[in-house]
Amino acid sequence: MGDNKSCQLGPICVLIFVNTYELQRVNGRGEQVRFERTEGIDAAFYRQLLDLAEVREPERLLQLALAALLEVTDAREAYLEFRDGERRWGASSGVDDVRLDAIRSTVSTGIIAEALASGEIVVTASAVADPRFGELDSVQRNGIEAVVCAPLGEEHGVVYLQGGALARHTPAVRSYLAYFTRALGPHIDELLTAAPPSRGEGAFAPVLFTSQAMADVVNRCRFAAALDVQLLLTGPTGTGKTLLAECIHRAGPRANGPFVALNCAAIPENLVENELFGADAGGHSTAHRGGVTGKVAAAEGGTLFLDEIGELALGAQAKLLQLLQSRTYHRLGDPKLHEADVRVVAATNQDLAEAVAEKRFREDLYYRLDVLQVRVPSLAERQDDLLPLAAALLRRTADRNGLELKRLSAGAKRALLAHEWRGNVRELGNRLESASLDAHLRGSREIGVEDLFGGRPSAPAIDAWNEATRRFQRRHLVAILEECDWNVSEAARRLQLTRTHVYNLIRDHQIERA
């Protein structure tokens, strides 16, 4: 499980007893939905679900729900697992860490696989004696006896019960599990959205991600951190290249040295050399008595990060090339040759190969910088990260300002997914912070579409673009689903999305099979 402290889940529902066999659910929009009790289910179980209505932390909610399930089924251990693409996360009750590893290894290829494949509750009074599972090494090794396993939603995951007096209450257990999964099913997507994105380990902990695309970037950066070669970070603006450069510095052998950043696009051409290499006293008209310390000297023993390297003037490019080739440089007005012990990490949102072809960037410098390249994907290329990132950014805004955490409405989530984030994560963070403050001023518990995009001059254009995007998404999704004969797994593979995302799109676009 990830650290759920950074993410909270608003009330999923409120359960109100109407009579012995009927419940009334009041959802977050104040709508009342009635559903019947299942025969044979103890009323105390409903009361325990009622107590969970105001639990905001997903992990805590699931643990309490599983504890209630243990109590009414007399099982010894309960485990719940969600699967969203490559991610696996869940909760357990009555299970220590050693047993948890054993359960996960046991069921990942056996009982869970059977429950997911069949879509039915799997029951075995003794897994070791069951011909379906008895030959599994992990089942024999751990002596697995009574097990009940039920699928959750559309291949999202399973609930797993084991041991205790479970075998003596099989019919009742089936009823409880059927009700449990039916009650939890409608909220699985919200739970998955609320699940915090994964974090890199160690020095890369500040990097939040869910997608495999970003996981690959972090792994490549972790590999690069241990090396002492030039590194080039490429990708659109606002994708987090500066953050990755800082993480690479902290993860490498120069971590105890300084990390010095210079935005090459933010300084005038005639001051670039002064900023990079410094100046001797009297080296130019503004150099004071002690001279000017350049960024190369300031980064001695550490990392020099050159952002927007594609904007560096051609004259300064020649001097930077000398630095990379010989590890030496001259300060302005100083004939002495200085040695430099720095690692250079550069970043750009430009196509440097194209800049070389157009004679805007030196070819020899390009090859010196491009020893190892890491391309950081745009937010459009890692859309699975969008909603988990939004939840984390909203939590950060609330904590920084000491304000109540605001949740995204269903419409706001759809708007986020439909919007073209040209400014990527930077734009997303700014938009969410502004929307959160607007929601506070309105006195709303939720962030709506109007908080995200309303009241701005570009709102009509944004709405038109979003609507056109949604129409295209719907047509494209329907075409792919029909080509695949509604095999959602195959459609997800062709679209390069997770099954969860495809199911969400089907529901959001209200697509039904003809």
pLDDT above 80 (res 343): yes
The CATH code that applies to domain 4-194 is: 3.30.450.40
Domain covering 380-508, topology = Helicase, Ruva Protein; domain 3 (1.10.8)
237-267 pLDDT tens trace: 999 999 999 999 999 999 999 999 999 888 8
15-41 pLDDT tens trace: 222 222 333 444 333 444 343 444 445
Q: Please, which pLDDT band fits residue 59 given cuts at 50, 70 and 90? A: low
| Identity of the highest mean pLDDT range in 233-237, 444-448, 500-504 | 233-237
Topology alike, domains 199-375 and 380-508: no
Q: Please, which pLDDT band fits residue 337 given cuts at 50, 70 and 90? A: confident
Q: Please, which pLDDT band fits residue 1 given cuts at 50, 70 and 90? A: very low
Q: Please, which pLDDT band fits residue 309 given cuts at 50, 70 and 90? A: very high
Rounded-to-integer distance, Cα 421 and Cα 427, Å: 7
State residue 6's pLDDT score.
31
The string of DSSP letters for 310-342 reads GGS-HHHHHHHHHHHHHSEEE-BT--SEEE---
Mean local confidence (pLDDT), 359-387: 91
More confident residue, 400 or 460: 400
State residue 33's pLDDT score.
37
State residue 14's pLDDT score.
27
386-445 pLDDT tens trace: 888 888 889 888 888 888 888 888 788 888 888 889 899 999 999 999 999 999 888 888
pTM over 0.85: no
Q: Average pLDDT over the chain, rounded to whole?
A: 76
Write a three-state SS string for 409-429: CHHHHHHHHHCCCCCHHHHHH
477-489 pLDDT tens trace: 888 888 888 888 8
Considering the segment(s) 199-375 as one domain, its CATH architecture is 3-Layer(aba) Sandwich (3.40)
pLDDT above 70 (res 498): no
Q: Of 146-160, 283-297, 326-340, give the lowest mean pLDDT range.
A: 283-297
Rounded-to-integer distance, Cα 456 and Cα 453, Å: 6
More confident residue, 510 or 354: 354
pLDDT above 80 (res 183): no
| Identity of the highest mean pLDDT range in 150-159, 163-172, 354-363 | 354-363
pLDDT above 80 (res 169): no
How far is residue 81 from each of residues 1, 35, 133, 320, measured CA to CA in Å?
10, 26, 19, 52
Confirm if 465 and 474 have CB atoms less than 8 A apart.
no
275-302 pLDDT tens trace: 888 887 654 555 455 568 889 999 999 9
| Identity of the highest mean pLDDT range in 43-57, 106-120, 145-159, 351-365 | 351-365
Which H/E stretch holds residue 388? helix 386-401
State residue 156's pLDDT score.
60
Mean local confidence (pLDDT), 182-198: 57
State residue 359's pLDDT score.
92
Mean local confidence (pLDDT), 221-235: 93
Q: Please, which pLDDT band fits residue 209 given cuts at 50, 70 and 90? A: confident
Rounded-to-integer distance, Cα 437 and Cα 414, Å: 20
Q: What percent of the chain has pLDDT over 90?
A: 24
Long-range contacts of range 453-457, CB-CB < 8 Å, 24 or more positions apart?
453/415, 453/419
Rounded-to-integer distance, Cα 9 and Cα 194, Å: 6
Rounded-to-integer distance, Cα 403 and Cα 211, Å: 29
DSSP letter at 291? -
Segments making up each domain of the chain, as ranges:
4-194, 199-375, 380-508
State residue 38's pLDDT score.
45
Q: What percent of the chain has pLDDT over 70?
A: 72
